[in-house]
Amino acid sequence: MNRYNIYLLLFIASISFGFAQSNLDEYAEYALQNNPGLKASYAEFEIALQQIPQVSSLEDPTLRVSSFGKMVETRTGQQMARFSLEQMFPWFGTLKEQKNVAALNAEAAFESYKLERNELLLNVKELYYPLFELDEAVRLNEANLKILETMKTLAISRFQNGNGKLSDALRVDIMTNEIQTDINILKEKRKSMVIAFNKLLNRDAMAEVLVDQQVELNTTLVSRDSLANNPQLEALRKKVLAAQAQERVATKQGMPKLGLGFEYIITQKRPEMTFADNGQDAYMAMVSVSLPIYRKKYKAMVKETQLMQTSFTAMQQQVENNLIAQYEIASFELEQKRQQMALYQKQVMQTNQIISLLLTAYGNEQADFEEILSMQQTLLKYELLEVTVKKEYLLAIAKIEYLTSR
């Protein structure tokens, strides 16, 4: 098993999930196995691997066969045919360096594949978490409808007893209609979101998408030092090394090539003469050397590789700067959403307490029904905001994981 197969097996093992699989984990694994873009990226890596045996092999030997139209007469007889075989050898170490260049380019291609893989996982989360938010919004709105139904029953009962107003029940109807419309819109929106999610996974557009009701909130912030593991950075490091090796190749290509050969000539006997070497075939060893005297192209090749090194190094610095900036923004958003989640959780708890007190007061004819409805709307608003902030918190975590993943 070569080192690339070992490398791939270790990489696949490293992406296994260390806890009971959720729906998100299953969808992520499905995407890794079926997304056509990721398959294309892996094929690019395999293509790069095929360059290694191509550039590390000798040129094909040259075989020449000559048959004389008008026979060449020699002392030992007529030359009937000539066979020559020649093998050219590049300068010492050229093939090794070319193999090194191809291997480094293949490693860079594998890092690009890993980057594509990480982007795919991020895209899965960027579509999955909004589905989680939407389903939670539907659940909260439907729960609120049941509460409003109970409140309407209470309002009608008080009206029938002469202690309330019919307008209280009508206000409940108005709120109910608004919430039911919101639910219908959310369910229609979910259809388009499901199609987008399924197409990302490369499966049937109308396939059912199951979303976990509870999503684990990771509170451990990955260190900024982990940005060094980013595959985009690692790919550029490999490209810098490949360009350095390519410079050595260019230098060696400007050196002479050595050719070794062998020639064999078939000679016909001279019938009118008899001597010891009459008709004896001739053979000889040959050595040839190329003369790389036109230096401009070799100097240009070396200069090209040096410019490539400069370019890749600058790109590496730019990518590193961008990663740091994105990490800091995502870290701020993570902390911001954490504080907002704590705020809305507190607001929900206190609003529930207020509603409980108002209902008690309403039963004793000490509170206005409209005030209860207003607080119920406020409660729903805070609950929906809490879900939205939770989604944004999860997306910030996903972004940081993407930036720092190997």
Judge whether 106 lies within some domain: yes
361 versus 104: which is more confidently predicted? 104
User: In which element (H, E) is residue 386 found?
Assistant: helix 369-404
Whether 18 has a pLDDT exceeding 60, the answer reads no
| pLDDT confidence of residue 280 | 78
Q: pLDDT digits over 112-130, tens only?
A: 999 999 999 999 999 999 9
| pLDDT confidence of residue 183 | 97
| pLDDT confidence of residue 8 | 40
Judge whether 202 lies within some domain: yes
- β-pair type (282-289, 62-74): unpaired
Whether 365 has a pLDDT exceeding 50, the answer reads yes
Give the range of the structural domain holding residue 355, as residue numbers without chain letter: 19-57+90-257+292-404
Q: What is the mean pLDDT of residues 267-282?
A: 73
Whether 72 has a pLDDT exceeding 70, the answer reads no
Q: What is the mean pLDDT of residues 233-255?
A: 97
Nearest-angstrom CA–CA distance, 227 and 386 = 30
202's tokens:
């490369």
User: How many domains are contained in the chain?
Assistant: 1
| pLDDT confidence of residue 281 | 79
Q: pLDDT digits over 202-243, tens only?
A: 999 999 999 998 887 877 778 889 999 999 999 999 999 999
240's tokens:
């810098």
Question: Model's pTM, two decimal places?
Answer: 0.85
Judge whether 365 lies within some domain: yes
Q: pLDDT digits over 303-342, tens only?
A: 999 999 999 999 999 999 999 999 999 999 999 999 999 9
Whether 263 has a pLDDT exceeding 80, the answer reads yes
321's tokens:
């700067």
User: In which element (H, E) is residue 79 found?
Assistant: strand 77-89
Judge whether 279 lies within some domain: no
Domain of 345, CATH number, reads 1.20.1600.10
Inter-residue contact 210 to 175 (CB < 8 Å): no
Judge whether 63 lies within some domain: no
